Amino acid sequence: MTGGDPPAAPGPFAHKIRSRHRDRLAVVYVRQSSPHQVAENRESADLQYQLRRRAVELGWPGPRVPVIDDDQGCSGLSIDNRPGFQRLLAEVSLGHVGIVFGREMSRLARSNRDWHQLLELCALFQVLLADADGVYDPRDVNDRLLLGLKGKYSVNPSRHSQRVRPPDPLSGRP
C-alpha cells in the first residue's frame, strides 16, 4: 500500500482478508431487478454504491475498487441479458478480483446455476465475497454452507418469506 492509503480496518472479518486479496481488485456489484426499482428505489441503489466505501475501509485503495452496475433494471433470473454479471465472472476467472461486494448475496444471482458458477470460480481463484452481513471465503466449509443457504434463498425469496401457519385443527390437515 502507498502512504496515502488508509490502513485496513480491524474487525471480525479482517483475518479472512489477506494481501493476495488486496493485491487484486475489490469489485462492487450493483443491481436492481426492474426499471421501476431503479427509478423508485434510490435508497437501495445508494446503499449498494456505499459498498465502495466499505472496500476502502477494509484496505483497498479507491482506484482499485471498480463498480459494476451494468445490470441495473435487469432480472437476476439468468446470466443471458446481464453483461455486468458476465463481466464479473470474466474478471474473477482472469484472477483480477480479490473480493466481490454485493449488498446482499441474493442480489448477485437468482438461479442456482449462476450462483454456484460464481461460488466455484471464487473458490478456485481465492476470491472472497462480502455483503452487509460479513465477509465469506467460499473455500471455508462454514462460509460455503452459509453462502449456499444465501443462494438457496435467492432462487425463491418469496417462498422463504411466507409466514409459517400453525396446523388448522378443524381442517384435519397438518
Active site members: 33
Amino acid letter at 46?
D
Is 52 in contact with 28 (CB distance < 8 Å)? Answer: yes
| Long-range interactions of 47-52: CB distance < 8 A, separation 24+ | 47/103, 47/132, 48/102, 48/103, 48/107, 51/101, 51/102, 51/103, 51/130, 52/28, 52/101
